[in-house]
Structures are given as structure tokens and as C-alpha cells.
Amino acid sequence: MIGIVSYGAYIPRFRIKPSQIAQAWGKEIAEIEKSLGVYEKAVASYDEDAITLSIEASQRALEAGNINPKEISGIAIGSESHPYAVKPSSTTVAEILGMGNDYLAADLEFACKAGTAGIQLLSGLVTQGKAKHVLAIGSDVAQSRPADVLEYTASSASAAFVLGKQNTIADILDFTSFSSDTPDFWRRDNEKFPSHAGRFTGSPAYFAHVLGASSLMLKKVKMNPQDFDFCVFHMPNAKFPKDVAKKLGFTPKQLEPGFVVEYIGNPYSASSLVGLAATLDIAKPGNKIFLCSYGSGAGSDAFVIETTPRVTSYQKKNKETVKKQIADKTYIDYSLIAKNILTKYRI
Amino acid sequence: MKIKVAGTGLTKFGEAWDKSLLDLAQEASLEAINDSGLRINQIDAVFVANMLHGKLSNQDHLGALVTSSLDIKNASFRIEGACASGGLAVHLAIQSLLAGSYQNVLVLGVEKMTDVSISEITSALMGAGSDMERRAGLTFPGLYALMAKAHMAKFGTTRNHLAAVSVKNHYHASLNDKAQFPFEISMEKVLQSPVISTPFTLFDASPITDGAGAVVLSSDLSSRRMSGSINNVFITGSAVATDTVGLAERKSLVEISATGEAGTKALKQAGIDLKDIKVAEVHDCFTIAEILAMEDLGFCPKGEGGEFVQKGHTRLGGKLPVNTSGGLKACGHPVGATGIKQIVEVTHQLQQKAGKRQVNGANIGLTHNVGGSGATVVVHILQT
Amino acid sequence: MNSPVQIWRQHKILHQYLNKIGRLIVWTKIFVAPVGFEHQTPYLVGIVQLDKERMPLQIVDTEEEKLKINQKVKIVIRKIGKAKSEDVIEYGLKVKPA
């Protein structure tokens, strides 16, 4: 049985409130945080990118789990903001982590579900006995068009998961995936900013795939929402994950530990994985966690995870919990965002 | 040892928009050669000090470039040691004379810095620093600011002490028509100016300058009167010491140890004591640098450089006038030329040719030229 | 910035510094930047004591007012300078408060 051996999450320390963003664009939206359900989002510094974020999350996973980087035989970074169109983020991260040369690396893109896709794809190496450990990462310095409504929530974070067969802190009992060709949110190759199809991103996109993958998953494992202790869904905003949880029959209490969007925003490929990390930070042994991500274009990856007794000792070693990082913040105004836009888009 | 300073030449320092590097080089060189009374074909070799020209304008091969512009076909060399290029060129020229290879040589220091943007010049100057420093985004103001901060933390040196250096040097420059900034400034001006790298403001830093300086050095010690001067001036001590290029790797952040080493060697070579020095030109690329120079040369105890300056000891009329030219801060700092300018200023002092800046009875002087944040130091002793 | 080959050589030494804790000896806040760092001003640079080595490193995620002599700082990997749009990106060592 393959499982999670260790994990790490990194949330950049800068935060900006939607009202500050609205103010920068001369918009006066009363109680904007309340209507979005997002009070602030995490902003990466001008010298951070999906690669540096991946390194931070990964080194935390390696340190807390006492993992030898040379024993990691596969690495996949899922992101919508890979620094290069051609040249893998994975190898730069692997080099700096000290993974040597004996590993498979590939970068993944599938909007916000590229990180979870990595878990499913790399797990095969372990089950086949080709790898002792593999490293799946979801990392994004999320982009949105300035002044677009997406700017209030698009944020930055990363989460890294080391998978293996032995000494797991949580087992992946089963997983599945549900995909279709759905153009709800996309970015063409030479475009700076993504585009989206408005309300089409709701019912036929997010909901269709999350509900599709989740029902498929529950059927496969012959379980009901009540059988789980926690659930984690991709969080593009505060509303969708709450709605989909309710539709499936999960309770707000089950959703709560992994519901990170209110204070960090939507870090795209890292969203559901940071939610999973937050849940693992507080889970007890034998807890069952339901995870379903969503990536535009579109697809959802669903997982049934059960913690082992080792999760408790891991929690003692893990200094950088998601909760701690959410609290450890410095507020900024729009000037850092403006600097980042100038730098990134060479204006 | 004894080498005669046979002639001097110096352009005005400042923003010379309509002059190229070669224009400045020719102007200073011809003035020095004329001053020496020698004919151009008596110049056996030309030593050209310059740090940035290759990087900024793609023109290397400055030795040959300069000699051909002067219609000289003899030996020529370009010497580079960051801001100590000038001092190094003088030192090497002296070695060639002592070796007997040449009898009369021209040493020229020239720099053209205003053709490019501030950020380009800031980057180019970091060629004098280390790889790690460049990667950290350090600048020369930043490097000396780190030393200033360390000095302030260890010895209680204040921003007022630093500002006193700038104010004093500006006063000296107000008496020097070759200076870039021939005007006095107030303490308030220094303290309130825009911050460039904490704790430094714009007025703690030497400016970006175009300029050239030249000397003709001769191993022929015969007493040939130079135009209008009273004394012949000789270089009797010339010493170089080096240290790590990177500041972080140095033993101390509050001392440029190469200064003490070069200073001691030069004094010994000249056979004089520190107390015999009547006038000095030291390397004040930033205000803290002059304070460090006072301490590291031994003019005052370590940590007391700030007080030494603030008390007025190094102002014209004080017990040891320092940087009567205005120093790098107020006379200007065309990098490769500075070391030569220092020799020219002390020579004029010893020749009683310094006009309103004259130090009475000046008969022994010292020049102190630093490369980078202290990686190369050249000290010369001049005597009548 | 540096050439791809120089960056490649540099990246190889980064691994040994991951997670290292050092002490901050002295720092300055730079307002006038060299080429490639203009977008970062003002930024902090300090000298850090790491085991037996002393290094000049940029200090991130903090303010000058919050720094104290000898405080513990931790190595992080960040982008160095600003690569031109067609160049290889250089990653390198910086520190943040530990």
C-alpha cells in the first residue's frame, strides 16, 4: 500500500486584503472580503517563483521526515507558473535538494490539479518497486490579470509530499480521476494572463468534475461521507468548496481543518494540497480523509487517505504547520504586487 | 630609493561631456610632459592606469591607444587594480626606473565615467568586489556602509563624525579650481541628503567623475628646475599590500589591514617616521574610508578616527592637513586617475605651488590609494 | 547576469547550504542598485557568519528596523537579480530571520 511518508507546506509571509486591491484600482466595494469569503491572500516576494516555493516545501518535507534526498527516484512539480516554458522546474529543485542524478523528473500542468496528478502518476513508480520514495509537489505563484476579479483570490503557496510504501504517516487507500475537455479557464502559450468563461466555471466545470470524481471515488471504495473524519476540496473561492461538500453530504466540521482559502487565497496547484497538509497537521491516527482536487480544462483527482499511528510523532517533528504559517504574516499594500507585475511581465 | 617627479598634469575633474577618454588622457599627459621640460621622444615608457574603460566602451588596449595618440612608439602598459590603479601604475613605473630599464616615464591615470547610466556605473564598479558580493546585490556604497555600521557599533562613531569628513573636504575643494565640487557644504546638508545605503547619504559618497592626471617620473635626479617651482620633489617610498577581494572574508570589518602594511613598508623605505608627515592625500571614496585611513595609517588610535577629524586636526591649518585637494569626495573620483591626482597634489604642496591650499613648510607628504573595499592599498612617500 | 555555464556551476554548491542557520553580523539597506537589482530597491544586504564561513547575503522577509546584531538567520533559496526574458534564471542563497 502506497502512502504519504512525509510532507511540507510553504506559505509566503506577505498578505494583502481584497479591499487594498480594490482601492488600488479605484473600486469601492463595501465589505468585499465578506462577499468573497476571502479575507486576505498570500503574496510571493519579487524573488520567489514556483521553483523557490517548491524548494521550501520540499526541504520541510525532507527535514521533518528525515528523508535522504538520494533515495527519491521520482519528482514531479505541478504548476501553472513554471518559470520556463521549456526547461523543467523539477530538475532545478532536485539539484538543489541534493537528489543526485538517479531520478525521473517531469513537470506537470493541469491548472489547479497538477499537484494531485503528480501524486497519482508517481505512485506507480513506488508500487512497481522502481522507487523507494517519490516527491510530488504542487506549487504556484498564481497569475491573474490585474484589476480582474480573480486578482482578489489568486495567491501563492506550495506543498510537497514524499510517497513510499514503508513508514507511512498516512496511507492512500485508493484514488481515481475524472476528466473531460471543458474550456472553463485557460491561458494560451504567449499570453501573459489567463482567461475564463465566467459563470461557465461553476456548474459545468468545477461542480461537474468534483462531483463526478467524488461520487466515482465513494462508489469504488464503497464508502459514504459519514465514514470520513475530514474532507478537502480544491478552493478557488470560499463558496464552491462549501457548496460541493454540502452537495456530497459532508459536514462543515469535516471541511473545516483543510479550509485554508479564507486566509491564504487560492494558490492554484497548491490549494487542495495545502488543505491536505493542514488536515494532516491535526489528524489523529486512524482518521479517514477524503480529498478531491479540481483543475480547469478540466478534471478532478479524488483520494481516500487514512492516517497511521506514525502521524502523531510526525506532527511533533513538523515545525512549520499550515496554521503557524497562516498566522505568521506581514501585511503589504499594492506596491509589492505592482513591483511583481513590472518584474514578471518586463513592463 | 629616490625617484624624481619631473612633471605633473591634471585635467579639471567633473562631468566632461564633450571630452572623450583620449581627450582627457592627452590633456593631462601633454601638460605633464611640458612641465617636465622633456621632449616627447624622451619618454621611454607610458603606464596607463584605468579600471572601467574596457567594460564601459569596449575599448581595451589602452596602453597602445594612449601612446599612439601622443605619437610615442615606446613601451606602454595598462594597469588595473580597481580604484588603486593609479597608485599601482606609479609603483610599477618606479620599479621600471629602479631596474634601469627606463629613465623617464609617463604615468597617466584616466577614467571616463559619465557616458553611462548610474546603475551601469554602480554595476561596473562592483567589478572591484567579489562574485558573492555581486550576487547579493551589493554596491560600493553598500560595502563601505557595512564597514561604517561595524565601526559605529564597535567604537561609537556617529553620522556626525562621518559628515565632518565630507564638510572638511568640501572646504578644501572650494580652494581648488580643478575640483568637481569647489564649494563648501554644511553638516545639515550631509545629514539630510537622500540615503543611498544606510547610514550613508549622497554626501557620504564620492561622485562619478571624468578626469585624468599624469606625472613624469625620472631616475635622473639632477636638479632641473620645473616651471616656477622651488624644490625638486622625490618619491622615496612606494609600497603595495593586498588582502581578500571580498569584505566578508577579511579578518576585520573595521580595519583595512593592507593600509597599515603598505604604510609601514613605505615609511621604512623612505627612512622616515609617521610624525614627519606634514600633508597627506588619503582614499576617501566614502567618509568612513578617511576615518579608517587615519587609524590604519597610524595617525590616531583605532576607533578614534572620527574624533580626530571632528576636532579639526586634518583641516588646513590643523596639525596634519589631509586631502587638501578636496579628496575623492569633493575633488572627484575618476577611478584610475585618483592615485595620480594624489601624487600631483602632494607634489604641488611640496613645491609650494598649492596656492590657497598651501600647507606651510610642507616637505614630506604621503599618498594612500585603495582598491575595492581594501583588497589593494598603495602608499607613497614624497619628500623634497 | 551570469552565463548559463556559470549559473550551472553555482547551482551545484547550493545544496550544502540548505537549512543552515547563521548569525547576522552587520547589514545595510541599499537604495541605489546595480543593474539587475533595480526592481528590488530598497533591499537589505548583510554579512552573515555561517559555521566557519562569512558571506555577504541579501536579507529577505523583514525590515531594517527589526534586525539585531548577532540575530539568528536562516538560509533560503531565492532568485538572484533579474534575468533577462531570454536568459537562464539564477537561484542562490539569501537569508531571512530564523
Chains in contact with C via at least 3 Cβ–Cβ pairs below 8 Å: A, B
* Residues B87, B47: Cα–Cα separation, whole Å: 11
- Which helix (H) or strand (E) segment holds residue A273: the answer is helix A271-282
A101 touches chain C (CB under 8 A): no
Residue B227 has pLDDT above 60, yes or no: no
Residue type, A159: A
Q: Tell me what pLDDT residue A185 has.
A: 94
Of A15, A47, A53, which to mutate for an interface test with C (greatest number of C Cβ within 10 Å)? Answer: A47
Q: How many CB atoms lie within 10 A of CB B327?
A: 32
Residues of A within 8 A of C85 (CB-CB) are 346
- Comparing A1 with C61, the larger pLDDT belongs to C61
A52 touches chain C (CB under 8 A): yes
Confidence of residue A291 (pLDDT cuts 50, 70, 90): very high
Confidence of residue A205 (pLDDT cuts 50, 70, 90): very high
Has A80 been annotated as catalytic? Answer: yes
pLDDT digits (tens, 9 = 90+) for A58-77: 999 999 999 999 999 999 99
Spell out a b/e string for B139-150, using b for 16 or more CB atoms within 10 Å of the CB, else e.
bbbbbbbbbbbb
Half-sphere exposure of C76 (CA within 13 A, CB side): 25
pLDDT digits (tens, 9 = 90+) for C19-72: 899 999 999 999 999 999 998 999 999 999 999 999 999 999 999 999 999 999
Bridge partners for A233 per DSSP: A292
Lowest mean per-residue pLDDT among A290-304, A329-343, B113-127, B334-348: A329-343
Q: What is the mean pLDDT of residues A325-339?
A: 93
Classify A297 as helix, strand or coil. Answer: strand
Residue type, A343: T
- Which helix (H) or strand (E) segment holds residue B23: the answer is helix B21-36
Residues of C within 8 A of B248 (CB-CB) are 47, 54-56
C70 touches chain A (CB under 8 A): no
CA neighbor of B138 nearest in space, from C88, A45, A22, C32: C32
CA neighbor of B89 nearest in space, from B63, B68, B127: B63
Q: How many CB atoms lie within 10 A of CB A114?
A: 28
Residues of B within 8 A of C47 (CB-CB) are 146, 247-248, 253
- Per-domain boundaries in chain B: 3-116+208-218
Q: Tell me what pLDDT residue B26 has.
A: 97
State the cell numbers at A296: 480547469
Q: By residue range, what is the domain housing residue C21?
A: 4-97
Compute the 3-state secondary structure of chain A and give helix, strand, coil in percent, each to the nearest 5.
Answer: 40, 25, 35
A49 touches chain C (CB under 8 A): yes
List the single residue in C with minimal CA-CA distance to A332: C61
Chains in contact with B via at least 3 Cβ–Cβ pairs below 8 Å: C
CB contact under 8 Å between C39 and A339, yes or no, is yes
Q: Chain B interface residues facing chain C, Cβ-Cβ under 8 Å?
A: 118-120, 122-123, 126, 130, 132-139, 141-142, 145-146, 149-150, 153, 194-199, 246-249, 253
* Residues B105, B6: Cα–Cα separation, whole Å: 10
Q: Before A309, cis peptide (omega within 30)? A: no
Q: What is the mean pLDDT of residues A333-345?
A: 86
pLDDT digits (tens, 9 = 90+) for B296-306: 999 999 999 99
Exposure of C15 by Cβ count < 10 A (0-12 exposed, 13-18 middle, 19+ buried)? Answer: middle
List the single residue in A with minimal CA-CA distance to C61: A13
Q: Tell me what pLDDT residue B356 has.
A: 96
List the single residue in A with minimal CA-CA distance to C87: A84
Residue B242 has pLDDT above 90, yes or no: yes
Confidence of residue B223 (pLDDT cuts 50, 70, 90): low
Confidence of residue B229 (pLDDT cuts 50, 70, 90): low
Q: What is the mean pLDDT of residues A291-303?
A: 97
Confidence of residue B226 (pLDDT cuts 50, 70, 90): low
CB A150 within 8 A of CB A144: yes
List the single residue in C with minimal CA-CA distance to B196: C31
CB contact under 8 Å between A342 and C39, yes or no, is yes
CB contact under 8 Å between A52 and C60, yes or no, is no
- Which helix (H) or strand (E) segment holds residue A342: the answer is helix A334-345
Q: What is the CATH number of the domain that holds C8?
A: 2.40.50
Residue A332 has pLDDT above 90, yes or no: yes
Q: State the DSSP code for A207.
A: I
Per DSSP bridges, beta strands B195-197 and B200-201 are: antiparallel
Residue C1 has pLDDT above 60, yes or no: no
- Please name the residues in contact with C63: beta carbons below 8 A apart, sequence gap of 6 or more: none
CB contact under 8 Å between B132 and C30, yes or no, is no
Q: Tell me what pLDDT residue A346 has.
A: 67
- Comparing A274 with A342, the larger pLDDT belongs to A274
Lowest mean per-residue pLDDT among A18-27, B108-117, B184-193, B271-280: A18-27
Q: How many domains does chain C have?
A: 1
pTM exceeding 0.95: no
CB contact under 8 Å between C26 and B141, yes or no, is no
Of A234, A292, A306, A320, the catalytic one is A234
Bridge partners for A161 per DSSP: A7, A136
List the single residue in A with minimal CA-CA distance to C9: A95
CB contact under 8 Å between C76 and A95, yes or no, is no
- Please name the residues in contact with B125: beta carbons below 8 A apart, sequence gap of 6 or more: B52, B139, B140, B335
Q: What amino acid positions of B are annotated as catalytic residues?
A: 83, 333
Q: Before B321, cis peptide (omega within 30)? A: no
C31, C43, C45: residue with CB nearest B196: C31
CB contact under 8 Å between C32 and B146, yes or no, is no
Residue B145 has pLDDT above 70, yes or no: yes
State the cell numbers at A202: 461553476
- Comparing B78 with C82, the larger pLDDT belongs to B78
Q: What is the mean pLDDT of residues A173-194?
A: 94
Region of residue B153 (left: phi > 0; alpha: psi -120 to 50; beta: else): alpha
Q: Chain C interface residues facing chain B, Cβ-Cβ under 8 Å?
A: 25-38, 40, 43, 45-47, 54-58, 64, 69, 80-81, 90, 92, 94
CB contact under 8 Å between C27 and B149, yes or no, is yes
Residue A347 has pLDDT above 80, yes or no: no
User: What's the full length of chain A, in residues?
Assistant: 347
User: Was domain B3-116+208-218 assigned CATH 3.40.1280.10?
Assistant: no
Q: State the DSSP code for B37.
A: T
Of C8, C13, C38, C79, which to mutate for an interface test with A (greatest number of A Cβ within 10 Å)? Answer: C79
Share of chain A above pLDDT 70, in %: 99
Cα→Cα distances A177→A213, A215, A269, B345, Å: 6, 11, 16, 82
Query: Mean pLDDT, chain B, as a whole number?
Result: 96
Q: Tell me what pLDDT residue B222 has.
A: 78
A151 touches chain C (CB under 8 A): no
CA neighbor of B5 nearest in space, from B92, B82, B105: B105
Report the Cα B115 to chain-centroid distance in Å. 22
Backbone angles phi, psi at B382, to 5 degrees: -120, 140
State the cell numbers at A199: 459563470
CB B162 within 8 A of CB B199: yes
Residue B288 has pLDDT above 70, yes or no: yes
State the cell numbers at B300: 590616531
Please report the sign of the dihedral spanned by the C-alpha atoms of residue B240, residue B245, residue B246, residue B250: negative
Residue A22 has pLDDT above 90, yes or no: yes
CB contact under 8 Å between B198 and C29, yes or no, is yes
Interface of A with C in 203-262 (CB under 8 A): none
Residues of C within 8 A of A55 (CB-CB) are 18, 77
